[in-house]
Amino acid sequence: MTEQQRLRNLNIPTGDIDVVLDTDAYNEIDDQFAISYLLHSPGLHTKALYAAPFFNGNSISPADGMEKSYEEIHRLLLLIGKQCPVLRGSLTYLPDEHTPVDSPAARDLAARARAYSSEHPLYVVAIGAITNVASAILMEPAVADNIVVVWLGGHARHFHDTAEFNMVQDIAAARVVFGCGVPLVQLPCAGVVSSFTVSKQELEHYFAGKGTLSDYLSANTVAAAESYAAGRNWTRVIWDVTAVAWLKNQGERFLLSRTVPTPLPTYDRQYEDVEGAPPMRYVYYVHRDALMNDLIHTITKQ
């Protein structure tokens, strides 16, 4: 890939594009918003949904998290009323930076990307641990020239560490993706997309009562937030939506970004500058209200 083509691929896409989404959908409540936003957005043609592994209080292992995410994707598709290929992802994280984890999702991405090119790339939106994507690249290194990876992971460069959930689960996979030369758009969590939150009042006013899907999104979010708010006021981060918003960001109406040299995440939870590293796109600001209005309109068709 030429440097000029790389820079073109780091620009906001225009026209109709093909997309796959890699998601740990059962991890929290924001993946459901992102999936719904993607599947309701004209011009974004979703070719496959991949279940990503995760391990927290909602799972007993990365494999269990992946399976629960696989099931949650199917539940959401029923609510949305659309069909799309759904593939199971990795059962474990990468054991090292050279060994892929075989899975239907990784194999599908490696094979699917062969039909694309640097001039006509496949957009890979990842909103979980990036194990499946890294595995596909390790299986088929040429994939890196045919895709653009849009990843919500890590924290802002000015933040004190990179110990964000998606990144810290599988640092080896993050290092593969950041180090392989794939055109990469990063949406950092703390310090950037952490500003994209929703309140109970907004959920009840704009989503509740607007259909089965909107009712599910609203009730699911309110229940999750009130489980820890203990009667106090709250807003809930739904930052996974911002990764999909990049694909709709014509005119920078939702997100501001700049090109920067691609750093390398380190095992001690920092970023390392790499001499001669290719450029990546770094999102540094969210137009919160503009994006929230588009999310509401897109999902509820108001």
Residue 13: per-residue pLDDT: 97
Residue 195: per-residue pLDDT: 98
Please classify residue 105 by burial: count the beta carbons closer than 10 Å to its beta carbon, then call 0-12 exposed, 13-18 middle and 19+ buried.
buried
DSSP string, 79-104: HHT----EE---SS--SSSS-----H
Share of the chain above pLDDT 90, in %: 97
Structural domains of the chain, ranges and CATH numbers in brackets? 3-196+238-300 (3.90.245.10)
AA letter at 266: T
The mean per-residue pLDDT over the stretch 215-219 comes to: 96
Q: Which helix (H) or strand (E) holds 199?
A: strand 197-199
pLDDT, tens digit, for every residue of 112-164?
999 999 999 999 999 999 999 999 999 999 999 999 999 999 999 999 999 99
pLDDT, tens digit, for every residue of 178-204?
999 999 999 999 999 999 999 999 999
- pLDDT band for 45, please (50, 70, 90 cuts): very high
Strand partners, 51: 23
pLDDT over 80 (residue 11): yes
Q: pTM of the predicted model, to two decimals?
A: 0.97
The mean per-residue pLDDT over the stretch 27-50 comes to: 97
Residue 1: per-residue pLDDT: 87
pLDDT over 70 (residue 272): yes
The mean per-residue pLDDT over the stretch 238-251 comes to: 98
pLDDT over 80 (residue 302): no
Beta-carbon contacts of 220 under 8 Å, excluding residues fewer than 6 positions away, are 29, 32
pLDDT over 90 (residue 168): yes
Rounded CA separation 89/105 (Å): 5
- pLDDT band for 228, please (50, 70, 90 cuts): confident
Task: State the average pLDDT for the chain.
Answer: 97
DSSP code for 252: G
List the alpha helices (DSSP H) in the chain: 3-9, 30-39, 62-80, 104-112, 131-139, 165-169, 171-179, 200-202, 212-229, 241-246, 288-300
Residue 229: per-residue pLDDT: 83
Alpha carbon of 293 to those of 76, 161, 225, 243: distances in Å? 22, 32, 21, 16
Please classify residue 7 by burial: count the beta carbons closer than 10 Å to its beta carbon, then call 0-12 exposed, 13-18 middle and 19+ buried.
middle
Rounded CA separation 257/279 (Å): 12
Residue 301: per-residue pLDDT: 85
The rounded Cα 214 to chain-centroid distance in angstroms is: 21
Among the ranges given (34-48, 160-174, 198-212, 216-230), the one the predictor scored with the smallest mean pLDDT: 216-230
- Pairing verdict, β 197-199 and 235-237: antiparallel
